[in-house]
Amino acid sequence: LKGIGPTYMDKTGRNGLRVGDTTLPDFVERYKKLVQKHKDLLSHYEFEYDLTEKEAAFFEAIEFIKTIPHVDSEHYVNGFLKEGKKVLAEGAQGTLLDVDFGSYPFVTSSNTTTAGACTGLGIAPNKIGQVYGIFKAYCTRVGGGPFPTELDNEVGETLRSVGHEFGATTGRARRCGWIDLPALKYAIMLNGVTELIMMKADVLDGFDKIYACTHYEHNGETIDYMPYDIITVQPTPVLKEIQGWKTDVTKITEVGQIPAALADYIAFLEKELEVPVKYLSVGPDRTQTLELN
């Protein structure tokens, strides 16, 4: 019963409560009906919980929500687009957590791809212009699921420590590894990425050599894409060695100051991914971002 899953079960079952329902006269009745349904379900597991205190806080929050203007997002956003204004939609999770195209069943309950902007905001696919694909200079994952390039060793621990790779909410340590190009290409394909934004280049500052997975191998076969049965197959990543830059890039303020080895790494990625890297992040502060030529 943890996480967002149970809430999405209500949505998919077409009996969940929506924000707009809080303004309806029968909201409390709808709420009580849904609560009773969950209590009946939980009774089969001999689970009981006193909701008195939580319900009081819940309805107090509902009264506050009623004071905030409610809008239908589809009309609101499309109104801006019709006026010729620019709209930026930001996703919160990685492509491989997508419920339909991610590494199922190790996924979330919604669409985390560009398509999620359509289903989540009510905008048509042909309204989408630029698609920026944000990725780290290495690879991370939270929780279970396939991770061919994972480094369960001192190198992985260094990436985790230097990159502060711990969950923002839970504090759970993220799994770390080298960049996975088949996975990145898969994400670019699904999202229709037009330009890339590379984050956390500074985390790799201390390495003499870094590596990139160019493809996988399994039973003597070369696999250059994300296989459907990657969890079962557990392919072996084939790594390309890349020269590290061994330079503190956090002080860089101009494109011309980028170390040659880092520039080569970016050029290598652009050639492999066939998409330009538009922005480069060299530190945790938003000012430590460079727009590349």
The predicted-structure confidence for 70-91, as pLDDT tens digits, reads as follows 999 999 999 999 999 999 999 9
Nearest alpha carbon to residue 41 among 10, 3, 12:
10
Which residue spans of the chain are classified as CATH 3.90.170.10?
130-291
Numbers of helices and strands, H then E, in the chain: 9, 10
Q: Rounded to an integer, what distance in angstroms lies between the CA atom of residue 232 and that of residue 47?
A: 35
Q: Rounded to an integer, what distance in angstroms lies between the CA atom of residue 131 and that of residue 276?
A: 12
Write down the pLDDT at residue 92: 87
The amino acid that residue 244 corresponds to is G
Angle at which helices 181-191 and 260-273 cross, to 10°: 60
Q: Rounded to an integer, what distance in angstroms lies between the CA atom of residue 161 and that of residue 170?
A: 16
The whole-chain average pLDDT of the chain stands at: 95
Write down the pLDDT at residue 46: 85
**Encoding tokens for residue 128?**
């989408």
Nearest alpha carbon to residue 204 among 285, 136, 286:
136
Write down the pLDDT at residue 47: 85
The residue written with tokens 């670019």 in the block is: 188
pLDDT exceeds cutoff 80 at 21? yes
pLDDT exceeds cutoff 80 at 257? yes
Task: Find the mean pLDDT for residues 220-237.
Answer: 93
Task: Find the mean pLDDT for residues 170-195.
Answer: 96
Write down the pLDDT at residue 180: 98
Write down the pLDDT at residue 218: 95
pTM for the model: 0.92
* Model confidence band, residue 1 (pLDDT cutoffs 50, 70, 90): low
Write down the pLDDT at residue 157: 97
Task: Find the mean pLDDT for residues 254-267.
Answer: 98
Write down the pLDDT at residue 276: 98
Write down the pLDDT at residue 48: 82
**Encoding tokens for residue 233?**
């197959």
The predicted-structure confidence for 46-72, as pLDDT tens digits, reads as follows 888 889 999 999 999 999 999 999 999
Q: Rounded to an integer, what distance in angstroms lies between the CA atom of residue 163 and that of residue 98?
A: 24
Share of residues in the chain with pLDDT > 70 (%): 100
pLDDT exceeds cutoff 80 at 169? no
CATH architecture of the domain 130-291 equals Alpha-Beta Complex (3.90)
Task: Find the mean pLDDT for residues 35-43.
Answer: 91
Write down the pLDDT at residue 164: 96
The predicted-structure confidence for 103-131, as pLDDT tens digits, reads as follows 999 999 999 999 999 999 999 999 999 99
